[in-house]
Amino acid sequence: MKKKKEIKSKTKKERKKINIDFNSIFGGMFVGIANIIPGISGGTMLVIFNLFDKLTYAVSDIFKRHTDTRKQSILLLVKVLLGAAIGIILFAKILGFTLKYYEAETIMCFMGLIMFSVPIIIKEELKGEKFNILFFIIGFAIIIGLEYLQKNTFNNNTNSTMNLIHFLTMIVLGIIGGATMIFPGISGSMVMLVLGKYELVRSYIDKLTSFDMEAIISLCFFGIGVIIGIVGSSKITSYLLKNHKGKTMSLIIGFIIASALILPFNLENHIKFTTMKICSLIIWFIIGGMIIYYINRLKTKENN
């Protein structure tokens, strides 16, 4: 009888472990998908899938001198990165098609996914913490400010000279890119546009397939910066979540809501608002909400 109970509890633990592994990879897939959609932050997806604080702690933990959990931290990072790679590879063509022919519907689906996840984030991430309205407003204002700068002040200069200043610039851009990759609500492409370097980085990525040496060397320095940015931002975020969780999460919720609200204003194609089109957009917004509702139900069942 005891053996049967032990086997049952073992099976339950193993099943839970598989579910957690699936959640990390599945969440990573949505991070990869988010990086394809203009204006959507991969960090937002990390928060939605309850992976943000786990991942920031994990990245910070890997670089600690004395830690017993380095192996688990590396494993979590690998799972999320694997999921992100799967998301980019599997959905790049699909999203390329939907963004070309059904741009508004695709954006509205993601807007619904983000907006419906906000009450869940507040419930799960602010347990025992006080919501700080001031930090929420600051977070909201930062995103609106970045959006304004993107629309009015950026200058996409693709010219570059292969010298020390250029390489240092690429490292700095990489640091900014790495930090925005992990931080919710802030789109890396938006920040690059504000800095006037979006086309420069994109042109280097386009030249990779033709084995352009300038592009390869420049992106190597950019990659160094990305690693520094991810590690640095993870350490800072890990400290803030540990010591000022209420204020940090209020700031992040401000980022997320503002970034979701400005998504429709980033549409490249002009929309003709017919009755059919408005109904279609509302339906896709609800579908986005239903996706996050179903994912949350699965997570609740898993925890129970």
Q: Are 104 and 281 in contact (CB under 8 A)?
A: yes
Mean pLDDT, range 277-302, rounded to an integer: 82
Q: Determine the pLDDT at residue 212.
A: 80
pLDDT of residue 143: 82
Q: Alpha-carbon Rg of the chain, whole angstroms? A: 21
Measured between alpha carbons, how far is 121 from 48 in angstroms, rounded to an integer?
Answer: 7
Q: With contact defined as beta carbons under 8 Å apart, do 132 and 248 qualify?
A: no
pLDDT in tens, 8-43: 444 444 444 434 456 788 888 888 887 666 667 777
What is the rounded CA–CA span in Å between residue 183 and residue 238?
A: 11
Q: Would you place residue 300 in the very low, low, confident or very high pLDDT band (cuts 50, 70, 90)?
A: low
DSSP code, position 270 = P
Per residue in 227-285, pLDDT (tens digit) is 888 888 878 887 888 888 889 889 888 888 888 888 777 676 677 778 888 899 999 99
Query: Which pLDDT belongs to residue 16?
Result: 43
pTM value is 0.68
Mean pLDDT of the chain: 77
Q: Which residue has the higher pLDDT, 99 or 139?
A: 139
Report how far residue 47's alpha carbon sits from residue 45's, in angstroms, rounded to the nearest whole number: 5
Whole-number pLDDT of residue 20: 46
Cβ within 8 Å of residue 64, ≥6 positions away:
70
What is the pLDDT at residue 14? Answer: 42
* Calpha distance 241→225 (Å, rounded): 24
Q: What angle do CA 302, 28, 57 make, to 5 degrees?
A: 80
Confidence band, pLDDT 50/70/90 cuts, at residue 128: confident
Mean pLDDT of 279-292: 90
Report how far apart the first and last C-alpha atoms of the chain are (Å, whole number): 24
Smallest CA-to-CA distance from 130 within 253, 256, 292 is with 253
- At position 284, the amino acid (one-letter code) is W
**Residue 102 DSSP one-character state:** S
**Where residue 134 falls among pLDDT bands split at 50, 70, 90?**
very high
User: Interhelix angle for 103-125 vs 70-101, to 10°?
Assistant: 150
Token pair 């309205």: residue: 133
Find which of 57-71, 86-100, 168-182, 217-231 is predicted with most confidence, using mean pLDDT: 217-231
* 8 A C-beta contact, residue 276 and residue 160: no
The CB density around residue 254, as the number of other CB atoms within 10 Å, is 24
127-135: long-range pairs with CB below 8 Å, 24+:
129/245, 129/246, 129/249, 130/246, 131/246, 131/250, 131/253, 132/246, 132/247, 132/250, 132/251, 133/250, 134/250, 135/247, 135/248, 135/250, 135/251, 135/254
| Alpha helices (H) in the chain, listed in sequence order | 2-36, 42-48, 52-62, 70-101, 103-125, 133-152, 164-182, 188-195, 198-207, 213-243, 245-261, 275-303
Using CA atoms, how far apart are residues 103 and 49, in angstroms rounded to an integer?
Answer: 24
Residue 163 above 80 pLDDT?
Answer: no
